[in-house]
Amino acid sequence: MNAHASSLETSHTAHDPLAPVFAQYPLPVVRGEGVWLYTADGRRVLDLYGGHAVAALGYGHPAWTKALAEQARTMNFQSNAVPMDVRTRAANKLIAFSKLPVQSVFFVNSGAEANENALKMAFTMNSGRTEVIALEQSFHGRTAGAGALTWGAAKKWYGFPRTPFDVKFIARRDVAALSQITSATAAVVVEPIQGVGGAFDLGAEYLKALRKRCDETGAVLIFDEVQCGFGRCGEPFAANLYGVLPDMITTAKALGNGFPCSALLMMKKAADAVKMDALGTTFGGGPMADAAIEATIDAIESEDLLANVRRVSAYIRKTCIVGPITGHQGAGFLTGLISKVPASQLQKALLNDHNILAGTSGDPNVLRLLPPFTLKEAEVDLLSAALKKLG
Ligand SMILES: Cc1ncc(COP(=O)(O)O)c(C=O)c1O
């Protein structure tokens, strides 16, 4: 989820049964097709936000829909207490998709839960150490451990009386600050391309220096690729894009194309530390989630969608630095368009006047684009034309 749904919210009414914790877009969606949303009041809206980076295949993808319907008919749920082919297939497909030396996969249900389990593994691997380092502007989720590592959470919403471990935040992309990682540090958790932080890429040079410092101090390196991973950056993971191998990767969001699921991917050192009963879940790795993961990977591969992400994201960077946009950052379909007017104002004008949904971020001048991997150049042309009019 995103703490920055911006100024487009409508207020909750006294009769709303839902907890009033989400600012909401004035967009009563009833249906979706491809990259388009259709609303109850008859609008057709181009979705460049993908439900917080989730809708990898867009909406109503035929093969994904069929795979879920078939899995629902044959076996909708059994827990990890029984072996299921679909679970093993999903794990093997995810490992092959990653093109990384992943040794073990633990399926859970959300980004935050994957991060909690990664942290638990890190403390197991580094028992006795009590500190975790995260980066300024990071977002890792709302639970006790993940929230403790989320920049600004303590002031805004953390709520727990204390964090479960010692936390230190260091400046992002600052190689000198890596000296704060020491032999007291159990783990370092980073988003290689920060999402909520403004589609801000840390870059290969910084990540290589980070890997080196973790090796020197024995700190476990965790890449939170909940938002930037699973194809969104145009490669399987940002680890591939930057050529830096962490000890663990967490991934979620696009992974199930909207069916809730997440995964903890463990390289050898982490996989070797896993013990029977150390981790657990009821729903994680359920067959519906597995079928969703398998179908999403199949579609990404058969439709060559990573190449599409690379090509069309380059096209965005080439054609959308117009009107109020002065630059870009991020990678692939986690693109930040740097705006000279507040991004929330731009977001509102794009939605109200041009039927285009884009996101904001923690950086007030970054408009964040997280479109489905199926987005085409012709649809980007609608954005660039709208931006020119807003200039
Ligand atoms: C990088 C990152 N990590 C973790 C999370 C938390 O994921 P979830 O909301 O599925 O718990 C998010 C959600 O926005 C995220 O962007």
Buried b (16+ CB within 10 A) or exposed e, 310-345: bebbebbbebbebbbbeebbbbbbbbbbbbebbbbb
Q: Is 224 in the pocket of ligand 1 (CB under 6 A)?
A: yes
What separation in Å is there between the alpha carbon of 100 and the centre of ligand 1? 22
> Which residue from 386, 363, 88, 391 is spatially nearest to 198, judged by alpha carbons?
363
DSSP β-ladder status, 248-251 and 262-266: antiparallel
> Which residues make Cβ contacts (< 8 Å) with residue 61, sequence separation at least 6?
257, 295, 299
What separation in Å is there between the alpha carbon of 196 and the centre of ligand 1? 9
305-319 and 377-389 are packed helices; what angle lies between their axes, rounded to 10 degrees? 20
What separation in Å is there between the alpha carbon of 53 and the centre of ligand 1? 10
Q: Is 2 in the pocket of ligand 1 (CB under 6 A)?
A: yes
Q: At 174, is the secondary structure helix, strand, or coil?
A: coil
Q: What is the pLDDT of residue 6?
A: 53
Rounded Cα gap, residues 193 and 99, in angstroms:
19
What separation in Å is there between the alpha carbon of 141 and the centre of ligand 1? 5
Q: Is 191 in the pocket of ligand 1 (CB under 6 A)?
A: yes
Q: Within the chain, which residues score under 70 in pLDDT?
A: 1-14
Partner residues linked to 188 by β-bridges = 133, 221
What separation in Å is there between the alpha carbon of 139 and the centre of ligand 1? 7
**Per residue in 216-272, pLDDT tens?**
999 999 999 999 999 999 999 999 999 999 999 999 999 999 999 999 999 999 999
**Backbone region of residue 51 per phi and psi (left: phi > 0; alpha: psi in -120 to 50; beta: other values):** left
**Per residue in 361-380, pLDDT tens?**
999 999 999 999 999 999 99
Identify which of 139, 172, 360 to mutate to test ligand 1's pocket (most ligand atoms within 8 A of the CB). Answer: 139
Rounded Cα gap, residues 104 and 265, in angstroms:
6
Q: Do 225 and 238 meet the contact criterion of CB atoms below 8 Å apart?
A: yes
Q: What is the pLDDT of residue 227?
A: 98
